[in-house]
């Protein structure tokens, strides 16, 4: 497909990275990105913390225009995805993360307000932290659907010659 942008998915999960169980959210996000017209390989499944930042940086360095993470956005001591993401961002896009949380709340999920996920721009890449639950991922993708391609194109000024 002409105009296909590269995307990447990073799964933050200590247990999935250790092989305790198979990740259930990464493949859903990859399939959704492909349906949206992005080129996307299998998700990178890494432990919480610094490995998340390393995986995001690797995807950005490889030319990804969108990186979606899942997991590590809650309140447990090992949930460190926002902390691994923030230093990589040149600027934040708070409206995306706020919209994801608001969508979950409107859908009747009070724990959506506990997500600390971020969204922002790293170089020419839009990075968005999604929750780790299947429902949270579903809600986040519903929010991103109408704006993701436009946002990825705006990051490089595609609609402003």
Q: Is the pTM of this model over 0.85?
A: yes
8-31: b or e for each residue (b if 16 or more CB lie within 10 Å)? bbbbbbeebbeeeeebebbebbbe
How confident is the prediction for the chain on average, in pLDDT?
Answer: 95
**Taking 90 as the threshold, does the pLDDT of residue 25 lie above it?**
yes
- Banded model confidence at residue 158, pLDDT cuts 50, 70, 90: confident
- Helix, strand, coil percentages (3-state) for the chain, rounded to 5, are 45, 20, 40
β-sheet bridge partners, residue 129: 69
pLDDT tens string 94-134: 999 999 999 999 999 999 999 999 999 999 999 999 999 99
CA–CA gap between residue 70 and residue 133 (Å, rounded): 8
Lowest mean per-residue pLDDT among 22-26, 69-73, 157-161? 157-161
Average pLDDT of 17-37?
96
CA–CA gap between residue 18 and residue 27 (Å, rounded): 17
**Taking 60 as the threshold, does the pLDDT of residue 2 lie above it?**
no
């Amino acid at each position: 497909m002409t105009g296909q942008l590269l995307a990447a998915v990073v799964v933050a999960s200590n247990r999935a990275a250790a092989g305790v169980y198979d990740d259930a959210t990464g493949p859903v996000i990859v399939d959704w990105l492909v349906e949206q017209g992005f080129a996307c390989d299998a998700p990178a499944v890494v432990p919480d913390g610094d490995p998340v930042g390393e995986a995001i940086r690797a995807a950005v360095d490889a030319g990804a225009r969108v990186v979606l993470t899942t997991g590590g956005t809650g309140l447990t001591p090992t949930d460190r995805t926002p902390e691994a993401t923030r230093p990589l961002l040149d600027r934040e896009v708070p409206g995306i993360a706020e919209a994801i949380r608001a969508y979950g709340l409107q859908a009747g999920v009070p724990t959506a307000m506990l997500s600390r996920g971020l969204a922002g721009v790293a170089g020419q890449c839009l990075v968005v932290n999604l929750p780790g639950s299947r429902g949270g991922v579903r809600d986040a993708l519903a929010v991103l659907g109408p704006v993701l391609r436009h946002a990825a194109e705006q990051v490089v000024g595609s609609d402003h010659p």
